[in-house]
Amino acid sequence: MGVYGDQLLPRLIDKVMDNEDIRALRRQSLEGISGVVLEIGFGSGLNVALYPPAVTKVYAVDPATVGRKLAAERIGQSNITVEFIGLDGEDIPLPDESVDNAVSSFTLCTIPDEGRALREVHRVLKPGGVLHFVEHGLSPDANVTKWQHRIQPISSRIFGGCQLTRAHDQALLAAGFTIERLDREYGKGPKPFVFHYIGTARKGAMIL
């Protein structure tokens, strides 16, 4: 990824994504989460302080190892155990059905193969486990969508492969999840960048 991707971009994202508006979206997505949690795209640990007390442990996956340094203070101030387990959301080093719930926050846009990553999350979730997500993606408005496609090549180069034109609800369904809650709304900022998908998607419970 080079110096920019390895060193500078994680620090830029840490600053840009740490504001009250984004924290409000994160809190909204994390409502009701509990137990042992997998977080793909852990980054600099911006979710750590927002996890409810019912979360007991977080398995963290992120390709930017510099994020661990940025997250150290946040982790040190939390009662939650954080264990870094891998770099790639497309290949999660956990056994099948080993975590209670999962989290993805502004991550699915940058994973090269979103479908594969979601299938991996689905695999490691226990039956009935829930993926809590907040992502930006494809708008339903034709004029905004047009601009998203125009901006996409630049956005991808500057923001570590970020894809503005992904419909995350469709990807979740294709990976085998049942969407239980989905809010699709614009945040503050230029519309092509701030159309958000916020909600929960459940892995089907085992039928005995």
Instruction: Specify if 207 maps to a domain.
Output: no
The model's pTM is 0.93
Q: Assign 6 a pLDDT band (cuts: 50, 70, 90).
A: low
Q: How far apart are CA 139 and CA 148, in angstroms?
A: 8
Q: For residue 31, what is the domain's CATH number?
A: 3.40.50.150
pLDDT band for 174, please (50, 70, 90 cuts): very high
Q: Which residue has the tokens 């110096």?
A: 3
Query: Residue 14: which pLDDT band, with cuts at 50, 70 and 90?
Result: confident
Which one has a higher pLDDT value, 174 or 208?
Answer: 174
How confident is the model over 69-127, as pLDDT tens digits?
899 989 999 999 999 998 889 999 999 999 999 999 999 999 999 999 999 999 999 99
Q: Is residue 208 part of a domain?
A: no
The pLDDT, as a whole number, for residue 1 is 52
What domain count does the chain have? 1
Chain segment 149-173, per-residue pLDDT in tens: 999 998 888 888 899 999 999 999 9
Helix (H, G, I), strand (E, B) or coil at 127: strand
- The continuous run of DSSP H or E covering 158 comes out as helix 142-158
Q: Which tens digit of pLDDT belongs to each residue from 27-80? A: 999 999 999 999 999 999 999 999 999 999 999 998 877 888 899 989 999 999
Residue 12, C-beta contacts closer than 8 angstroms, at least 6 positions apart: none
pLDDT of residue 208: 39
Fill in the amino acid letter for 140: P
- Domain presence at residue 171: yes
Residue 159 covered by a domain: yes
- Closest Cα partner for 69 from 52, 85, 86, 45? 45
Tokens of 159: 């923001």
Range of the domain at 146: 2-202
**Is 32 a domain residue?**
yes
> Binning pLDDT at 50, 70 and 90, where does residue 15 land?
confident
The pLDDT of residue 207 is above 50: no
Sequence-ordered list of residues with C-beta below 8 angstroms from that of 163, at least 6 positions apart, any chain: 109, 110, 114, 137, 152, 155, 156
